[in-house]
Structure 1
Amino acid sequence: MSETYEKIVVGTDGSKSSLLAVERAAKIAAAFDATLIVGVAFYESKEDASKTLRQDSVTVLGDEVAKENLAAAAAHAKQFGVSKIETAVRPGTPVQALMSIVTDNNADLLVVGNRGINSLTGRLLGSVPADVARQSDCDVMIVHTVN
């Protein structure tokens, strides 16, 4: 295990709370001179989106919306001194997309917001932060973005 982070993945859905996670990840990336990979998931159809029981993230429908969210999040991250920023768009649920981005980039830190972790639905069905923490092979930081 390395004592520094070289590749940091952060998930965004375009929401204000997810941009707080992007900000925290950008500050860590700047401190370690790491590459920040901003990732977003999108559903390819309304049918795919309706299959998810989870409402703890904003439903991003279509890759155009996803790309707009990514551009905004990457621009936000630049304000915090990170010099190496990459973006990744993946179809599927937020958990599937983030795990894919982490694996593809051999990331050593995943940063997510805490949205959904304390909701009733989150407790019954799981939440994005809890599920990625269980499934991830790298360190996971859950940023307190929502009360």
Structure 2
Amino acid sequence: MFKRILVAVDGSKSALAALEKAIGLQQLTDAEIYLLCVYKHHSLFQASLSIDRPPGMDIPDKVLSEHAKELVEHAKLQAAERGATNVRGFVKAGRPSSVIVEFAQDKEADLIVIGSRGLHGDKGAMFLGSVSHRVASHAKCPVLVV
């Protein structure tokens, strides 16, 4: 059924629920799980914040990249604790919805599992967050929104 399941992780409760579903599917199908955390890229101009940075202050991309790596490692540990095997983690920069869809195509994912709402999911009356909505609308493979 599924050979490669992509799970988008961002540290939200919704992403954890998506990971739980993916683990359950893996136990049924023996699929490989790809964990992907996408952080928003900042240009050098944006990173400069139009002022001089104090010594030792990292640019936003570096800080966000490190945090994204920590989120992926945390998700890998959670997956292992729940019995998941064959789990790989990835970190990418860019617009989350676009990167998730492109990554799924590049890795030939059979399924994308994504939380319905991200870190700012408690705001507004929409059923889906903007990222999950865009991914579901543009992905070439099935998308399970949790």
Q: TM-score, normalised by structure 2?
A: 0.76
Alignment of 1:2-13 (within 5 A): 4-13=1-10
Structure 2 residue ranges without an equivalent (≥5): 48-60
Match of 1:114 in 2: 116
Out of 97, 100, 104, the residue aligned to residue 99 of structure 2 is 97
Which segment drifts farther, 84-93 or 74-83?
A: 74-83
Structure 1 residue ranges without an equivalent (≥5): 49-59
Q: TM-score, normalised by structure 1?
A: 0.76
Identity, % of aligned positions: 31
- The answer as to whether partners of 1:9 and 1:110 remain within 8 angstroms in 2 is yes
Mapped pair 1:27 → 2:29: no
Whole-Å separation in 1 of the counterparts to 2:94 and 2:126 = 19
Mapped pair 1:131 → 2:128: no
Alignment of 1:49-88 (within 5 A): 62-88=64-90
Q: RMSD of the alignment, in Å?
A: 2.5
Whole-Å separation in 2 of the counterparts to 1:119 and 1:138 = 28
Change (3 A) 1:45 1:19: same
Change (3 A) 1:99 1:75: same
- The answer as to whether partners of 1:107 and 1:138 remain within 8 angstroms in 2 is yes
- The answer as to whether partners of 1:40 and 1:88 remain within 8 angstroms in 2 is yes
- Count of paired positions: 127
